[in-house]
Every structure is written in structure tokens, then in C-alpha cells.
Chains A and B, each alone.
Chain A
Amino acid sequence: MKTHKLLFFIFLTVLLCFAGHASAGLGISPSDWIEPNGLVGQQIEKTFTLSRADASEDLYFTSKITGELTDWIKIENGNSFVMPKGRQQLPVNIILSIPQSAEKKEYKGEIRLNSSSKTEQTGQVGVLLSALIRIDLTVSDKPFLSYDVLQIEIPKQETGNSVSVILKIWNKGNVSAKPTKLTADIFDKFNTTKIDSFTLTDFSAVAGVGSFSEGQIELQLPIQLPPEQYWANVSVYQDEKVLKSSDITFNIVEAGALKHEAAAAKKNNYLLIIGGILLAVVIIAGIVVGIWLFIKKRKNHLTISKKKHE
């Protein structure tokens, strides 16, 4: 009887774990694609995200493109695709290719993503959900420079080389983007004694970040520092406008140290995996022995009871 109760409890627990509530909800983020500065011959890529709270089943999508931009749009996921069970978000990558022959004017279009599940709805009128992307594109012949510096980073690096500064850039314009000036003040690890200052203005050898995309630019500060921790105050400019300024710490390590660190990290990962497997084996073995002891005890109990009755 006790065994039965135990089994029922486990069964009920499993049922509760897998019980779900089918809820019909669908979202798109963002839903408007406003591009005020498209250039002829340009290819613009943008990612939209479909989302749902209830991911208990596969959701099937078919797309329909309408408006003046129909032939310019390609959905990288395909014209029909699946949002798999278990996924609350699904990126949809869309490429807009402006032909060389496009007139310089405003264009509007829509991409409708119609969803359906394989579960048939009961009732006379079933309800379905769709997501709508509205596109507003203006084709012009004017170059438009617009970008944000998302992050300034000085990664951990080895002594004996110039110091690398990495700029992460989000280019929202229709031309390649790179800053026109960078200033950097290097301080000791207490951020009190200035070690050196730099102003970089020649970026002719640096490749910019492509239009309508994210990317990074790596710049070199002409200084070799001994292994230690340092502070840097870095400012990035477009002409005389400061786009971003950051106080950041960075570390210079001995030559070859990064390679050793990478090897040690790899070794630790292997040890963690092995440890995890061993732990799992011990837990499983414990459960098996526990169940075996329980059954054995139960059998002994039944045998004793039977003998008493006899």
C-alpha cells in the first residue's frame, strides 16, 4: 500500500510538472521598421523577434508581404517557418535590398506573419494570431552618418605590445562609421598618478563599421606597459562631439600568461564536467540502492506478516 501511495505521488508530481495552460498570445518586437535614409543599391538587414508566453507547442508561421517593397524583401527564415516548442522568442531576420533603379521617394510595405498550431481548435470559429511588421523606407541619395559607441573596452593583454582599445559601435546611418578622434589618459592602479596621455586622430587605416549594423573597431595606443593593473580615461569623438567617455580598469599580464590562463580554464571545464558526471552517478546509485532497500524491507515485512498469520 505504501509503495502504491509513493508511486501515485510520483505520477501526480510528473503530471503537475507537465501540465500546461494553452494560452493564445503573440508579440513582435519591434513592429515598425522606419528607415529614413536608404541609399540605392544598399542592403539593409534587421532582426525582429516573435515572442509568446506559452511555448507548450510548435507554432507554424507563413509570411505574406504586401506594398511597394514586396520584391525587395527577403525573409532569411524562409516564407514559412516554425517556432519550436519550448522557445518563447524567435528572431526573424529580414533583408531589404534597394535596387539601383529605385526612385528617390518614400516606400511603404507590410510583412504579415500568420501563425497556426497543429492542435485543431474546437468550436465554430477558431481564432488565430498574426504579427505585423510595418515598413516605412525613404530612399535618398544623401549620405547619413549616425552611430553610437556602445562600449569602450581595454581587454586583458600581454606586456610587450601596444595597448589595444576596442570600440563597439552601432551604426544607424547609411555610410560606414568610425570616430574621428580618441583621447586616452593612462593612470596607475590607484587612479592617482598619470602615466601617459594619447590623442589619436589618424583613422585612415581603420575599417569602419558597415551601415545599419553592429561591429567593433580596434585601435592601438603606442605604449608598452609592464604587467600591472591600470586605469584609463578614454573619450571617443565625432569631430568635437564626445560620443562616449569611460573610466575603465585594465590588466597587463606577463608574456604567455593569456595562453596559460586559457589552458587552465579549459582544464577546469573538463574537471567540472567529470565532477558533474561523477556526482550524477553517485546520486543515481544512491536512488537505486534506496529503492532496492525499500523493496527488500517491504518484502521482509510481508514475509514476516505471512508467517505470523500461518
Chain B
Amino acid sequence: MLTRIFGKQSKIIFCVLFIAGIFGGLLLFATAVKAILATSSVTVTNSLPVASLGSINTDAATMTLTEAATATATFTFTVTDNNGCSDINAHGSNKTIAKFYRTNVADGAACAVNDANCYAMTCTGPTGCTPGGGDLDATFSCTASVQFYADPTDTGSTYDATTWSATATPRDAVGTDGTPNSDTIEMASLTALSLGEAPTIAYDALALNANTGTTDETTTVTNTGNRTIDTQVGGYGSISEDTYSMVCTIGTIPVANEKYSLVAETAYASKTALVTNATPNTVQTSLAQGAASTDIIYWGMGLPATGVGGTCGGKVVFTAVNDS
């Protein structure tokens, strides 16, 4: 009976024992190995990243702005981390940053963002990193859309003793600031104005020998550059410098018959006579740099007693000049 039992189940028992033996052996072997191989560990001290080779607009000497618009400043730089380039920018929230600012602005690279003198740049990177530890550096490219009224630093401007700087502050997996790197550039003066959309000066019908009195036509001048500006005005009838303000179906109107003032409802006789565009007048608008710096020039017209008839048309030329 026992023999039969053993006969049927011997294979099963053998297999169970065999598997148990293997596992047991492995367990013992593992323990033995554990005893032979000493566990070693080391914590690598973090090496802070270092920025270098900063370059604004491909090492340009000067940045030029665009009237009533933005211009792009591009700052490229390299970040080196001795822990390997994979460590660069690896922190969850504290990423590598760059600022673009007037060099002598309060707090320098830590300046408060302000369109006139301090921009936080938008960065892409790191690029050019081969993971694995052999490659230590990677590059970044950062941009800022710089407004037309950003402070100028070239000769003759208010801040001509300084420049603009871009500073990169590199960060790694720890998120602590590494060694920064900067480049500088001159911000060019931009002398500009805008007269709004489709501007014209359209007077009502006038009788011979009459004038517009205290009724004004207006042009709104906006400073769309980064210097304080005055506005030059000069007129002509149909051909530049022809000494007329208007050319009519019959006859012409002298340029001085068209007048202007910076004060609304000024009597025609007290307004300033327009001159030819060959030697324009400078109107002291003194428009400061800024996002919405505007002034209104008020216009009037007087007709001669004789010699003109029909419809009349002419031109006024506006020029922005640096405030004197």
C-alpha cells in the first residue's frame, strides 16, 4: 500500500523537493554573495552650474527699436555643470533665467520688470546636451520683446553713460543660483511720431477774406520713440517747397494763411503761421517717452480776399526731432 502510494506521488514529491532545493540553494547563495560583496555608496556633492559666452543679438554693438512696436532682443549663452549637462535646469520649478535691463537700473539683474528698463526674458533650453555625464554643457536662447520706449543709452541720450545688459542665472537640479554671465549692448535712440489712423486736416467751407476764427481742426501727435520729442511742421500746396498752403481750382493760398497752435480755440490772428516745408517750424510739443505720450496741434485757415475759387488741397509735413 505504502509502496503504491510512494510510486504515484514520488514524482510530485520529487519535483516539490527539487524546486524547494533550488530556491533554498539560491537563497543560501545570495546570502553568501551578500556576505562577499560589500555595499558601497557615495553622495556626489552638487557642483553649481556656470554660465558663459553670453551674447546679445549675435554680439551686435547696438540694438535698434521699431516705432510704435516691439523689437526682439535675443540672448544666447552656455551653461556648464560639472555634474553633467543633464543636471542643468533639472529642478522642478527653479529654472535658468535671464533678464534684459538698463545696466544701471536699481537692483541690476534683480530689477523689477518695467517696459522702459527691465525685461524678464523667455528662454528655450537646455539644448545640445548629450546625457550620460561626459557632456558638461548646454546652450540656452532667451528673447524679450522690447518696447519702442525702452531707455536709450547712445551718445546724446539721458543714459549715455550706461548700456543695456542681459544676465543669465543658471540653475541645476538643486535650484540654487549658479555663476551668472552677462553681455552688454547700446540701446539706440529712436526719434519717432505717429499721427494715428489716416490723418487729414479738413476745414469747412470758407468765404473769401474769411478765416476759421476760434474753430479748430486737430491733429494728434503721439511720441512713438524713446526720446522726448518736439514736432516740426511745414507746408506746401502741390509741389514740395512751393510756398503755398493750398492749391485751388482757381489760384493758390499762401503757406502763412494756414496757422496752428498748441492751445485749443486760439483766435486765428493769434495762431502761428505755417512756413514752407523747406524750413519747417519746430513746435515745442516736448512729448516725453512712454506708452501713451500725445499732444494735439490745433489748425486754422484764412482765405485771401480775391484770386481763389473752387476746391483747395495741400500738404503738411510732420517730423519728429529730439527735444531741445
Contact = CB atoms under 8 A, between A and B. Distances in A.
A25 B192 contact: yes
A132 B319 contact: yes
A170 B61 contact: yes
Interface stretch (A28-36, A175-183, A235-243): A28-36
A145 B222 CA distance: 40
B214 interface: no
A132 B219 contact: no
A88 B277 CA distance: 26
B207 interface: no
B191 A29 contact: yes
Given A191-B80, A249-B53, 8 more contacts: A51-B192, A89-B66, A114-B317, A124-B312, A125-B202, A128-B317, A153-B53, A229-B136
| Range, interface on chain B | 35 or more
B215 interface: no
B232 to A, nearest CB: 7
Contacts, number: 188
Main secondary structure of the interface of B (DSSP, over half): strand
Contact of A129 (B50, B183, B312, B317): B317
B322 A189 contact: no
Interface in B158-205: 181, 183, 188-203
B78 A249 contact: yes
A1 interface: no
Interface stretch (A4-12, A16-24, A100-108, A282-290): A16-24
Task: Tell me which of B55, B61, B148, B181 has the highest count of chain A C-beta atoms within 10 A of its own C-beta.
Answer: B61
A191 B178 CA distance: 14
Contacts of A229: 136-137
A150 B190 contact: no
| Range, interface on chain A | 35 or more
Contacts of B232: 132
Contacts of A28: 190-192, 320
A183 to B, nearest CB: 17
A95 interface: no
Nearest to A116: B315
Interface string B304-324: 000000011111111111100
Nearest to B318: A129
Contacts of A121: 198, 200
Task: Tell me which of B60, B68, B232 has the highest count of chain A C-beta atoms within 10 A of its own C-beta.
Answer: B68
